[in-house]
Amino acid sequence: MMKRDVCLKALARHVTDADIVLPVYSTAFDWLDIRPNPLNYTAHGAMGLASSHGLGLALGRPDKRVIVLDGDGSLLMNIGTLVTAAALAPKNFFHFVCENGTYEANGGHPIPGLGAVSFAGLARSAGYRSVYEFSDLKNFEQQAGAILSETGPVFITLKVEPSGPQQRDYNRIHGPAVRQAFKDAIRAG
């Protein structure tokens, strides 16, 4: 198992200022500290919608790489998006799932199917072009750049430890200034 923030730091070395990144819930707080950028899209109001929002942005902005930083509990709320993303096959869509076995944002309750569900297996059977699963940080660090240079859709499971309680300032990720900064950045090209 890996620490989520360390995985995100490894990933951040390969993310550009032109990339749209959609981090959700607990991952969003880590990502905003690691790589602040106006193209971080954090305006998700309901659990499970990161992949759908990311898919829409990937289809609407094929000139930009779209990176979704999802959670396992969040993806379970909208598992059908895997089939839709695979069918539409946007070449610029990269779907990461931080699998920690919990609904971390809601108190750390275990997800259903804990230990039995293979998110990589679900993405593979849905038809994603490439699917990866990492539980070793060195392997992920060595492959992250190459994965982000592939043609999407690409699905990546990161097996991470639950992070435990966090200070959560939701206005920081959902506030009007954050949404306006994203709108301005996306309009600017």
Per-residue pLDDT of the chain (189 residues; tens, 9 = 90+): 899 999 999 999 999 999 999 998 788 889 999 999 999 998 666 678 899 999 999 999 999 999 999 999 889 989 999 999 999 999 999 999 999 877 676 666 677 777 888 999 999 999 999 999 999 999 999 999 999 999 999 999 999 988 766 667 776 777 788 888 888 989 987
CA 115 – CA 89 distance, rounded (Å)? 28
Task: State the pLDDT at residue 164.
Answer: 67
Length of the chain equals: 189
CA 42 – CA 94 distance, rounded (Å)? 16
- Residue 129, classified by CB atoms within 10 Å of its CB into exposed (0-12), middle (13-18) or buried (19+), is middle
Task: State the pLDDT at residue 173.
Answer: 73
Question: Residues 39-64: pLDDT tens digits?
Answer: 999 866 667 889 999 999 999 999 99
Task: State the pLDDT at residue 162.
Answer: 87
CA 103 – CA 87 distance, rounded (Å)? 28
Task: State the pLDDT at residue 145.
Answer: 98
- Residue 165, classified by CB atoms within 10 Å of its CB into exposed (0-12), middle (13-18) or buried (19+), is exposed
At 142, the amino acid letter reads Q
CB 78 within 8 A of CB 55: no
Torsion angles phi and psi, residue 104, rounded to 5: -60, -40
Listed residue (72, 66, 8, 74) closest to 45, CA to CA: 74
What does the buried/exposed string (b/e) look like for 3-34 if buried means 16 or more CB atoms within 10 Å of the residue's CB?
A: ebbebbbbbeebbeeebbbbbbbbbbbbbbeb
